[in-house]
Each structure stands twice: as C-alpha cells, then as structure tokens.
Structure 1
Amino acid sequence: MFHNLSHKVADFSTDLIIEDIGIITNISKGIVMVSGLSGVAVDELIQFSENLFGITFQLLHNEVGVIVLGNSDKLQVGNEVKRTGRITDVPVSEKLIGRVIDPLGRPLDGKPAVDDYKNFPIERDAPSIVDRIPVDVPLQTGIKVIDALIPIGRGQRELILGDRQTGKTAIAVDTIINQKNENVLCVYCTIGQRASSIAKVISRLEENGALDYTILVVTKGDDSPGLKYIAPYAATSIAEYFMRKGKDVLIVYDDLTQHALAYREISLLMRRPPGREAYPGDIFYIHSRLLERSTHLKQELGGGSLTALPIIETEAENISDYIPTNLISITDGQIYLSPKLFELGILPAVDIGKSVSRVGKAAQKFIYQSVVGDLKLAYSQFEELENFSRFGAKLDERTKQIIEHGQRIRMCLKQEESKPVSLQEQILILIALTEGLFDSIPLNKMKMAENIIKQRSKDLGELETVLLSEKLSERNRDKLVRLLKDNLQHLLMSK
C-alpha cells in the first residue's frame, strides 16, 4: 500500500498556471489605480470579473492607471484584478454585418454573440505611404450639393461639422443609405449619443434596407468614459478587416466631440497635466492616429479603401475652436452645416463657401465636371448680391437675373432627408440648372419641375448610356437640353 502511494506521488504532475494578480488601491469614476502588476504593458486588457474588463492607460512607479470598460460602481478598494496577457482587441468577422455591438464585440441587438471570429487589436499602425495610392474613385453620397460641389472619394477623410441640431447625422446616414447598390460596406460608430437618437438612426437604416451592409458599434451617453474612448478605434479595426480583404468601406464617427470629452475626463482623473481648455497635450495625436488609418490601398494589398466621415459639433458657429481646428487640419476637407441656413429651411444646410474637398475633382466622375461648370461661383455671387439687395438698393436687370438664377440653384440643391438622388437624376438636374432651363419656372413650381426631370431620367432610352459615360459631348448635351426643355414646356404652359 505504501509502495503504491509512493509510486503515485512520484508519477504525479500538473501544469502550473502562473497568474499576475494586482490589488485595487483607488477608484474614481471610470478609472482605477492598481498596484502589484509589475510586468503589465500599456493597452493590455485587465480583468476585474467575468464580464468586466479594463485597459492599462498609465504606468507609474508603484501602480498602474486602468480605464474601466464598463460600470465601475461595484468595484471596491482591495479587490483583486488579473492580467490577461492580451492587448485590447475586438472580434472581427463577416457575421458582424447587420449587427449592433459594443466596442468589445458584445451584442446589443438581442441576438447571439458571433462565434466564428478573429481578434484584431484596436490600436493598429496606419498603412505606410508606399502602401497607399491616390484617391480617385468617387463615393456617391446621393446628396446633390455634396456630389456636385464637394465631392468625396473612396479613401478620403471628410469632416462634417456644425452646431447642434443642424443635420450632421442626417448627412452621414443618407450617405450610408445611398451605398445600397454601390458595393460599399458601412460601419457606423456612435460615441456617447442618446439612446433615443441611436434608436432613430437604426430605424432609418432598417427602413431603407441599409442594415444589410452596415455594422453598428454603439456607446450611449451613460456608458463609461473608457468605452467611449475605445469605440472609434474598435470600429476602425473592424472596418480595416474588410478593407484588407479588398472591400470599399465607409466609416462614420458620430461624434468625435464626445470622444475628446471622454479622453479629457480620463486624463484629468489620472492627474495628467492639462493643456489648452484642460485637454491633455496629446489630444491632437489621438485623433490623427485614428484618422490616418483611412486610406486607399494599392492593388498588391487588395485595393480596398476606408473612407472616414468624422462628425464634430461646434458651438455658436465657432469653427476656429480647439477641437474643430485640430480635425480640420487632419482631414482632407470639411462639410460645414450652417444653423442660419437650417433655420431658413434650406436643407441640407451646407454652407458652400465654408465647405471644401481637398481631393476635389480627382475623386469626381468626369461627367460632373462637364455639367457643373461655374455653379459654385454663380452661387457665391448670388449670395453676395442677395445680401446687398436687402438694403433696398435699386437693381439693374443683370443683377436681377443673377439673383433669380441663384434662387433656382438654391432650390435645386435642397433635398429631403432619406431620399438620395441617383447619378442620372443629378446630371439631368445640373444640366437644366446650368443651361438656365429653370430660370423661367416660378419658385413655387421648382419642386414639380425637378420631379419631372427625375421621372424623365427613368425613360431616356439610348441617352441613358450617355449619362453613365465619363464624358458628355456637345452633341449629346444638346440632345439632353432639347429633351428637358420640351418636358418643362408643359409646366410653363400651366403657369
């Protein structure tokens, strides 16, 4: 008996599991200080409990600052925490398409968690310069004023900014809706938005069939600052997974103002030195390293693209504020939404004079360039003369014509929400506009005139291929002008 026991003891072996365990020494809102994790790395995932994790943010001499990725109310000083040995990551998979998840990949739509996935770190190096190619393929938004005057290319970073409640989210959502037949996958990332606003966006996407090609990464206003901080990085890693597979991807960050506020809160609680407006010194870096990941890859790497539409909220029309100027300097242009235009009912409230695309015509279909002409200049002249005419000055006939034409431009660029305009429809409307076919149409019948042209675009016969070509010849342009003039003549006769 003793011999058998000695034999079993001699043969006994076990696999030792070494765990690095620390102790919580201090708790603040959304962050904790932990001692005892001597070998921990920056951005490493730390486990508090089965469903609560954190990310190491600040390494000090005797303790570590950890951002809690969830509700920290149940944590207490003295609780044990464990290292996971993993850099903070997010699950990526084709099965995420059509799902609503949080930044850690946990489902928020009541459906089961994705079981077949890979893990991508949320922090990834941006593609190097030699891995990129110029942005030259347009991303059609379906919004006339943007596609015609502020074109966006696949791989571009175009900032959307404006005061509260001016339609910033509406432009981003309409752009997603217009990708239905464009073979573009969309990722929509909400950062600290109200639950009601998120539900409204999801409802709009579902009504228009856009959820079939969209992934939503969601953080609400009452979520922890840590989740808000990692949300855009996690969403970008998901988007990069598909870009690396050769797909064109559109990502919307709604909005980076809340991201900056969450980062400032975390930094101040960590007692990091504050800078301008109490933001930490690296506030520019956290956004630049995020947006630099959007690009157009060369064909050897699949030829995929990642287009970014970051949203930023301004206060009192101040686009020269700290965070807006940071984002303007990082991105490739901006779409500015004016509260004054919004109040006048000019929607989308895009201020053409303050909006720009630094990629410009390089990412616009060539046919646009042959029909837009000097539309932007004509509209700018109209706005100046319209302001001048309000003083009651007597106007000559030429000035009156410019104002009348400008009013038609404004009416044509107006557009209802969730009603994208196809390429063919846009080209026909722009031809009619630049040729002055609308100038004799009363303003109260402009909507009817536009609808007539839209209806005509569905029955063009052989001319339909002309609108899809890269160049519009003078002969074909004259044909289209005569066709549109004949159709609008009936509306003039009913005047």
Structure 2
Amino acid sequence: MDDEPVIYGDLGLVSLAELAFDVVAQTREVAEPTLEMREMGRVTYVGEGIARVSGLPTVQAEELVRFENGRLGMALNLDAAEVGVVLLDEREDLDAGSKVHRTGRILDVPVGDSLLGRVVDAIGRPIDRRGAIRADMHRPVEREAPAIMDRAPVDTPMQTGLKVVDALIPIGRGQRELILGDRQTGKTAVALDTILNQRETDVYCVYCAIGQRNAAVASVISDLQEHDAMAYTTVVVAGGDEPPGLQFVAPYAATTIAEFYMEAGRDVLIVYDDLTRHARAYRELSLLLRRPPGREAYPGDIFYIHSRLLERATHLDDDHGGGSLTALPVVETEAQNLSAYIPTNLISITDGQIYLSPTLFQKGILPAVDVGRSVSRVGGKAQMPAYRQMAGDLRLSYAQFEELEDFARFGTRLDEDTQRTLQHGRRVREVLKQSQYDPMPVAEQVAVLFATTNGLLDGLDIAQIPEAESRIRLAVRDDVPEICAQIEEGQSLDDAARAALLRVARAAVQSITMNHEAGDGDA
C-alpha cells in the first residue's frame, strides 16, 4: 500500500489531510461570525399594554425583551406556562405569533450629568429633540433602598420658598412629604415653586410626570425654562397616552436618575406627579395579567410598589457620601376624602403631608394649604432656628383664628378679645398668601412673619397687607443685611437682632400709614 503523501516543513512531517483540516478551520474562524445561543419565544396574546409569551424558560423578572418589530417589553409575570410581558412601546405591528428574544438586560436607565436639562421618557430615551444622551453609565430602575445603618438623621432644611410651608410645615432634606388634595387645588404649583426655589442652592431636581396630559407637562417644562430652572432639573415623562407599562416604570426610573446624584454626595429633590395615576396604571396592568384583584380592584401589593419606591428617599451618612434625596409625592383625592385607599397608603408611608383644601382655593387663599390637616413629622428638627422662635406662636394664633371664625358665623355679639383674635388671624392668613413663581428668601420670610406675630400689621386694612409685606422685605434687605446673613446661616436671633428686625418692620409699616394719612389730607 502506498504511503500517504506528506509535506516537508520546518516543524516536521504533516499529512495533507491534517493540513487541509487546519486550513478549513482557520478559514471558518476568520470568515464566519461567532454563533450565539439565544432563547426565542412567541407571542400567544396581545392586550392593551401587555403581551403573553411562551418559550422563554429562563427569562428573569424585569428583564427587557425585544419583539421582532423592534418594540421593547419587560417581563413581569413569570408563570409556569408563559411569561407576562409589559409593553414599553405601542403595540402597533405586534400580533400573536410574533417572535420575542431575550436581551439579558434588566431594565435600566442612563444616569449622569448629561441628563441635566433634558426631558426623557421612562426608560431614558430623549423626547426633547436635542439629540442623543451621551451617558457614561446605566443603572437598573429597580434598586434596593439604602440600609437603615447607612442613613443619617434629617437635619438640614429643604426650603420651598413658601411661607406657610417653611414656617408651619417644614421639610428636611431626605424627608418624604406627601402633597395631596382634590383636582385643581394647586398641588403641582407647590411642587414647582419648590423646584424654582432651589435655583441659588446646590440641590438638583427631578420632576416625574405620570399619566399627565401632554399640554400640562409642556406647561410645566415651559415654566421651568422661563425661570431658568432646567439647568439643574431633569424631567421624566410618561404621558397619559403612553402605555401603562411606561407609566408604571417612570417613577422608579426617575428615582434611579436622582440616586446617582445622592450617592455622589449631592442633595436632590424629586417630585412624583402623581402617584394616583401610577397606582391606576399598575392596577390596569395587574388586571390584564390576571392577578387577583383586592380592594377597589387594586392588587394586594399596591402598598409595596409605593413603599419600595419612597423608601429610596433618605439622607445618607458621611461614610456613604452624605447626600440626600427628598421626595415630594403628589396624590389626588376625591371630594376631600383623605381616608381613601391610595391616599391612606401613602400617608402611612411618608413623613407628613401638605393638604390643599378646595374650599380655601375657591376663596382665593393661595397656596390653599390647610394648616390644621397638614403635618411634618421630621422637618421641625431641621427647621432653621429663626423659624422655630416664632413658628409656635404663629401656628397657635392661626389655629385659634380658624376655630373662632367658624364660631363667629353663628353669633353677632363678640367680646373685644375675640374680635382682636379674629382681626389678627385675618392678617396672618393674608400674610400666608403667596403668588406662584414668587418663592421668598429665608430672611425676608422670617422678617415678615416676625412682624405679623408681634401684631405690627394689626392696625392696617387687609388691602394694605401686600404693600406692607413688600416694604418690609425691601427694608430688611437694605437696612439690616447682617441680620439677613445671620438668619440664612442658621443662627438664632438674639434680643438685639429681634429688636432690630422689629424696628425696621415698624418703620416700614408706619410709612404706609403716613402715606395713607397724607393722601386723605390731600383729598
């Protein structure tokens, strides 16, 4: 038998068969792409906002899946026979039988300074027509809340610029303060003024619109731009015409964006507007995915979806950067029913609530904060000392006034003390009024409220109160700037400082009286 032909080379004898095998193997290595095993499933049912998929046995909870038309979804229900997928895009061109692929990625969102000033959707895609976002990193939208031992006490105020809030319902950095009330009572206005008041501070802001009309969201963005607030603000939008999956994911994505700054040692304010619509979106998804309904058709874990969201707001200790995340969730009530299901859930999760009354709103008392039904369980410890020196008297006099005002409606003859209390209370209420987009600096707030609690405005007509307030604010800035600096630095006011404030405020009020008398004399 003839020997097999061989080729002589420097490395020894190599058979032609072995050489041919090596050449073919090398050619395949260069010419053919690496094959990758991917799970593929098929859609068995498509509903309004959800799809059911079979054939993805190892898919993870909250994993992104991609349909053959390029649309995205998130695996939410992991049943034995099928997977319940929440659609994150419109269901156009998606039918039963369509192919579905795993991506291997848990739903995440871009984070970083590149998102400042941008408007994005619930999964971080830009919707402001300003080009792509160049983010250095992505983080999962669902993250564990910081451990209890990693947190520090709330000890720094989050100034809203609203007198009634900063003096009577103070908020601290790292606190969760609920804003609730009926429709059209100014809930968004309170949150928006708080964002605008951070313009001269080191606080970053995230505004999350959930289920809102596009026109309403556009109005908020326009206001932020007009008042130069977009430079330190990110807006996350899941509009009312978006799939319910995006509305459900939006607040978690916004919190992940905010946590990036908190973990970098910065202070952040986040507004969820509003969690009533968030709860409705989750109820819709749950019912479509055939989860058992509970009270008012909400699933049993409706409390958990909000608690795991709001628990991420906190103040970290110095070992973890010392940053803070302050949450202002908004919730809508119906017919002033604070004891409804979702509002009571959120009241029990948060650290206090600011209640906006439709009755006060209709009377033109804006912001329409009902002081009697509002409370802050944390912020008082973080309140500036200058506020604490007069907030107690202010709250007491206002509460007495509200009780007497109701009583006085049934009687015609009132003693002098009651009349004085009513007159003083009406001026307190007038001082607590404030126009939107006009947040007031701390020192000016303290000066005006200090003058009010000491009765300097009791001799003026109600119509003269706004002018008196303006003059006091101007006089304090011009005449006692050192006391203003002392207040803003968080120092207590000694007797000399209080006397100086009273002197300046009294002179401002007297100038109104003198001008009024001079005007009467000329007439």
Fold conserved (TM > 0.5)? yes
Offset at 1:105?
A: 0.9
Q: 1:401-454: per-residue Cα shift (whole Å, max 9, x none)?
A: 000000000000000001001011101001101110000011111111011011
Q: Alignment partner of 1:374: what SS?
A: helix
| 289-298 vs 469-478, which moves further | 469-478
Match of 2:285 in 1: 266
Matched AA of 1:25: T
Secondary structure of the residue that 1:277 maps to in structure 2?
helix
**Offset, 1:21:** 0.5
**Residue in 1 aligned with 2:495?**
474
1:465 has 2:485 as partner: yes
The answer for the alignment partner of 2:389 in structure 1 is 370
Structure 1 contact 336–355 (Cα < 8 Å) conserved? yes
**Mapping of 1:95-110 within 5 angstroms?**
95-110=114-129
Any idea what SS the aligned residue of 2:373 has?
A: coil
Instruction: State the one-letter code of the partner of 1:95.
Output: S
- For normalisation by structure 2, the TM-score amounts to 0.93
The residue identity in structure 2 corresponding to 1:323 is: I
Q: Answer yes or no: is the 8 Å Cα contact 1:45–1:84 preserved in 2.
A: yes
Structure 1's unaligned 5+ residue stretches are none
Is 1:190 paired with 2:209? yes
| Partner SS for 2:367 | coil
Deviation at 1:324, TM superposition (A): 0.1
Give runs of aligned pairs for residues 206-355 of structure 1, distance below 5 A.
206-355=225-374
- Counterpart pick for 2:38 among 1, 4, 19: 19
Worse overlay, 68-77 or 324-333: 68-77
User: In 1, Cα distance between the equivalents of 2:111 and 2:497?
Assistant: 48
Other-structure match for 2:25? 10
Question: Of 108, 111, 114, which aligns to 2:130?
Answer: 111
Instruction: Give the drift of 1:350.
Output: 0.2
RMSD across aligned positions (CA): 1.3
Q: State whether structure 2 residue 396 is matched by structure 1 residue 381.
A: no
Native 8 Å contact 2:310 2:350 kept in 1? yes
Counterpart of 2:453 (choices 420, 434, 440) is 434
1:484 aligns with 2:499: no
Partner of 2:198: 179
Percent identical residues: 55
Aligned partners of 1:59, 1:462: CA distance in 2, in Å?
64
Distance 1:462 1:31, change over 3 A: closer
- 3-state SS, counterpart of residue 237 of structure 2: strand
| Moved segments of 4+, more than 6 Å | 2-5
**2:154–2:379 CA contact under 8 A, matched in 1:** no
Q: State which drifts further: 396-405 or 52-61.
A: 52-61
Shift of 1:197: 0.3
Task: State whether residues 172 and 309 of structure 1, in contact with CA within 8 Å, keep that contact through their aligned partners in structure 2.
Answer: yes
**1:92 and 2:92 matched:** no
* TM-score (structure 1 length as normaliser): 0.98
The answer to whether the 8 Å contact 2:154/2:172 transfers is yes
SS in structure 1 opposite 2:123? coil
1:396 to 381, 401, 415: 415
Is 1:373–1:434's contact at 8 Å kept on the other side of the alignment? no
C-alpha distance after superposition, 1:5-25 (max 9, x if no partner): 655323333522111110000
Matches within 5 A, 1:420-459: 420-459=439-478
Query: Which structure has the greater CA radius of gyration?
Result: 2
Comparing 448-457 and 331-340, the one that deviates more: 448-457
Alignment correspondent of 2:378? 359
CA 1:64–1:388 in 2, change beyond 3 Å: closer, same or farther? same
Q: CA separation of 1:461/1:289 partners in 2, compared to 1, >3 Å: closer, same or farther? A: closer
2:276 is paired with a residue whose SS is helix
Q: Which amino acid aligns with 2:169?
A: I
Q: For 1:348-388, what per-residue CA distance to the aligned partner results, in whole angstroms no more than 9, with x for missing partners?
A: 00000000000032010111111323211111110111111
Which shows bigger deviation, 473-482 or 198-207?
473-482
Counterpart CA distance in 1 for 2:484 and 2:97 is: 72
Letter in 2 for 1:377: L
Partner letter of residue 349 of structure 2?
I
Kindly tell me: are residues 362 and 461 of structure 1, through their superposed partners in 2, closer, same or farther at Cα, counting changes over 3 Å?
A: closer
**Match for residue 435 of structure 2?**
416
What's the CA shift for 1:479?
1.8
Tell me the distance in 2 between the aligned counterparts of 1:140 and 1:91: 29
1:306-352: CA deviation from partner (whole Å, max 9, x where unpaired): 00000000000000000000000000000000000000000000000
Aligned residues: 494
CA distance in 1, matches of 2:137, 2:308: 23
Structure 2, gaps ≥5 residues long: 1-15, 517-523
> How far has the Cα of 1:271 moved from its partner?
0.7
What is the aligned partner in structure 2 of residue 494 from structure 1?
515
State the Cα deviation string for residues 213-242 of structure 1 (Å, max 9, x = none): 000001111000000000000000000011
Give a deviation string over 1:271-326, Cα, whole Å, max 9, x none.
11000000000000000000000000000111000000000000000000000000
Q: 1:91 and 1:51 mapped to 2: Cα distance?
A: 20
Amino acid at match of 2:24: V
- The answer to whether the 8 Å contact 2:161/2:197 transfers is yes
- 1:71 corresponds to which of 90, 102, 115: 90
Distance 1:30 1:418 in 2: 38
Post-superposition offset of 1:169: 0.3
- Residue 45 of structure 2 aligns with an amino acid whose one-letter code is N
